[in-house]
Structure 1
C-alpha cells in the first residue's frame, strides 16, 4: 500500500517539477525532480 502512495506522490512531484522547468524556474524544477526520484519506491526511498 505504501509503495503505491509513494509512487503516486513521486509522479505528482515530478510533474510539478517538469512544469516548473517549462516555466523557466530551473532551480525549483530541478529540486522537485530530485525529490521525486528520492521519494519514489523505484528510487532511494526516504522512508525505508
Structure 2
C-alpha cells in the first residue's frame, strides 16, 4: 500500500471512530434513532469491513 493509501485509511478510520463514539453518546443521551444512524454511518465509512469508499 502506498503512503497516500495509508494516510487515507488512517483518516477514514479516525472519522469512523468519531462517528461511532458520537453514536454511542447519542444512545446514552436517549436519542435512539440518531445514535443508530451515526453508528451505521461510522461502520460504513471505516476502512475495515464494509466501506463505501473502497468499492
Normalised by the length of structure 1, the TM-score is: 0.94
Tell me by how many angstroms 1:43 deviates: 2.2
> After TM superposition, where is structure 1 displaced by more than 4 Å over at least 4 residues in a row?
none
18, 23, 37: which one pairs with 2:29? 23
**Deviation at residue 44 of structure 1 after TM alignment:** 1.1
In the alignment, structure 1 segments of 5+ residues that lack a partner are none
- Between Structure 1 and Structure 2, how many residues are aligned? 48
- Alignment match, 1:36: 42
Unaligned runs of at least 5 residues, structure 2: 1-6
Higher-Rg member (1/2) = 2
The structure whose RCO (Cα within 8 Å, separation 6+) is larger is: 1
Task: Give the aligned CA root-mean-square deviation in angstroms.
Answer: 0.6
